[in-house]
Amino acid sequence: MPLVRCLPVTAPPPSLKDNTADLDRLKRALREGLGQGPLVVPWRWAGRVAANFREAGFSGAAIVNDGEGRLELVDFLPRPPAVLPGLALDLGTTYLEATLLDLASGRRLARGHHLNGQIRFGDDILSRIHEAGQGAGLSELQGAVIGSINELATGLARQAGIVPQEVRALSVAGNPTMIHLFLGLDPHHLCREPYIPLVNAPDLTAAWELNLALHPAAPVYVLPGVGSYFGGDLIAGILASGLDQGEKTAMLIDVGTNAEVVLGNRDWLIACAGAAGPALEGGVARMGMRAGPGAIEHLDIDPATLAISWQTVDNQPPRGLCGSGIIDLVAGLYLGRVIDQRGKFRPGADPRRLRRGESGLSYVVVPGEEAADGRAVILEQADLDALMRSKAAMYAILSTLAAQVGVDFAELSRICVAGAFGRHIDPRRAITLGMLPDLPLSVYQPIGNSSLAGAELTLASGAARSRSLQIMRSITYVELNVNQEFMLRFSGAKFIPHTNHALFPSVPVPG
């Protein structure tokens, strides 16, 4: 059952013999199709619903929200609208991404993204939490993100040929901090031991209460999270990947600021998160960047000639390297023996491109004359070191998690890779680096923005909303920061592909 439904209804008109009140008459007629659960008309909408019902001649379309433990009759229209729009939102720290769905047909009406207006209060979660503690900071942060959502909703509505006030429901997936700020709840304790959110599973609210520019009675559903680190965005990913429903064990990898990993099947789920992300998201390497125009997203080095070919996003002149580009580059450098097993440049390995500067050796990926703004794209040893840490962390996370439950990588039916990382990465190259397990490439499945996909599912289905709570209750979260085994595995993974090459039989020994 979607968060909101439009139900055609015709009631017998009142008479001296049937003087039931308007709202009770409407409820009585609706009940015939709805069964016996509680059906309420919230006071705020009662007058309008009754007036519309009467004006429409006691026949038309009722708008019914799926409340918690009850249905809420919130509007009445003379006839069913052409579409019943609902908004699914991935509420990210940096970007909001959303789709507008027609909940009557399931059709997608529009899709888009928008910068999170909170960015002016700081880039990362910690600075937002700090800001929320200053004076009116919390309400300013809430206002900023609500404003951004309203702008995004307005844009999507325009694409769909409607106004945002016609949007009848909202489902939101985000990390715990973003959810607290969205709801105007104090995030203070999220970043302080023992890291306790104010709420994991917020109950439904309505658009008018949050000043959202949607239909005021639109129910607002927020996907639940677990603890401070494991947000509704990841539960959305589990929903979208179907990890919680599979007979066979599978894995979900979502790389953002952190790498978040879930392992499991329909009987159990285990999850952890770790700092494997920055180098991969483009946040650490000097020439790193997001996968925007001019980012080198694919790159190839001929192991014999060391000749480079590359491809940029939108075919723009190269400006830098996004995560997948860095992985391709370092894998190519390794197979061409320009770097060694420890990820260090070999002096003299490629005299045309290796240069020695103040900070040691660096590698010219694209010379200035071919690059955007004449600024060469360079990989420095420090960037390489950062990538080595990231890739080692990633493999250590995956192998620690699997070891916790005694699962061998070879048992995995699928590894779903979410987001831009999943969309752009070439699993072959990641395996070469020893970042991802050495499995058949078909095991790796890019699943796109799974946070948004999960928000769409919960918008459209009560079963998905129940699943999200079930996942929240059943998932086991492993804390890696205090995990000794993780540190050992991390050290072992700081080689290409690994100190134990036998784990990566498909990766050739260079040269």
CA-to-CA distance for 269 and 48, rounded, in angstroms? 46
- 3-state SS of 155-188? HHHHHHCCCHHHCCEEEEEECHHHHHHHCCCCCH
Cβ 476 vs Cβ 271: under 8 Å: yes
Binding of its own copies at residue 185 (CB under 8 A)? Answer: yes
Task: Please report where in the chains the tokens 């789920």 appear, as a residue.
Answer: 269
| Residue from the set 107, 133, 161, 203 that interacts with its own copies by CB under 8 A | 203
d(CA 402, CA 271): 10
Q: Which stretch binds its own copies (CB under 8 A): 16-24, 110-118, 155-163, 343-351?
A: 16-24
Residue 184 near its own copies by CB under 8 A: yes
C-alpha neighbours within 13 Å on the C-beta side of residue 420: 19
Q: Which stretch, 18-26, 281-289, 354-362, 375-383, contacts its own copies (CB under 8 A)?
A: 18-26
Nearer of residues 192 and 266 to its own copies, judged by Cβ: 192
Within 244-380, where are the H helices? 278-281, 323-335
CA 138 to chain CA mean position, Å: 23
484: contact with its own copies by CB under 8 A = no
**Residues contacting 255, CB < 8 A, separation 6+:** 276, 277, 280, 281, 323, 394, 417, 418, 419, 421
42 or 510: whose CB is closer to its own copies?
42
**What tokens appear for 26 in the block?**
């409407």
Here's the x/- map for its own copies, 91-120, by CB under 8 A: it reads as: ------------------------------
Q: Is the dihedral of CA 173, 176, 180, 185 positive or negative?
A: positive
Q: Is residue 317 close enough to count as binding its own copies by CB under 8 A?
A: no
Q: Does 186 bind its own copies (CB under 8 A)?
A: yes
**Distance in Å, CB of 84 to its own copies, minimum:** 23
List binders of its own copies among 226-255 (CB under 8 A): 226-228
Q: What order of strands is seen across the sheet that includes strand 4-10?
A: 4-10, 59-66, 71-77, 39-40
Give me the least distance between CB of 266 and its own copies, in Å please. 23
CB of 372 to its own copies, least distance (A): 45
Task: Map the footprint of its own copies across residues 39-78, applying CB under 8 A.
Answer: 40-44, 46-47, 50-51, 54, 68-70
Does 35 help bind its own copies (rule: CB under 8 A)? no
Indicate whether 189 belongs to the interface with its own copies (CB under 8 A): yes
Q: Rule CB under 8 A: which residues touch its own copies?
A: 14-16, 19-24, 37-38, 40-44, 46-47, 50-51, 54, 68-70, 183-186, 189, 193-205, 209-210, 226-228, 477, 479, 482
